[in-house]
Structure 1
Amino acid sequence: MIFEVKKPGKKIKDTLAELGSDYEIKRVDLWNNIYRDLGNGYELFVGEVDNTDKDFNVSVSVYQNKPNVKSVETISNIKSTEELRTILNELVIKYY
């Protein structure tokens, strides 16, 4: 079976624009995610943004990538870009 890799859609592009230049779109396991590398061994991934649902419902995962990759924290059911921005700012403070 061949999987089609889709280009980032309007919802993820609009969300990225609201978050600012510290974030980028990164494809992981064929899915487009919003990504930020904190530069200290921690990374933030915003998933479930690039879907066709009309409702905004995303999750944020924090990964430690040194010495091994492991999931550290996940926050789900984020319902707005304002809530997402607040959570991301809190996570940057916590893990930076």
Structure 2
Amino acid sequence: MQYFGGRTETCLYDNIKTVVSGQDEQGKVIWNEQFSKFANHQGFILRRCRPYRARTKGKIESGVKYVRKNFWPRVQTFTDLYDLYDLNLQARVWMDKIANV
């Protein structure tokens, strides 16, 4: 959040089970209870993509693939939780010098 200077107000999700539990008789979304609590705690609004409407879906898969193929091979060391601070530093350097150039 600090890196971007804030947070998003609304997050758009597909119908993944970790986020959407189902829908009621009127077609209104039923959010996964734990995820809904997380969203409330973090202060963002949940929105669901329209089913079978590819134009409303996010493109997160490409971003994950980019990080997996471009950042992870460059990681020097990362063995356990104690290296998490160092991993975050490596990620920050990678973002500043490669990904966000």
Q: Shorter-chain TM-score: which interval?
A: under 0.3
- TM-score, normalisation: structure 2: 0.24
- TM-score, normalisation: structure 1: 0.25
| Greater fraction strand | 1
| Greater fraction helix | 2
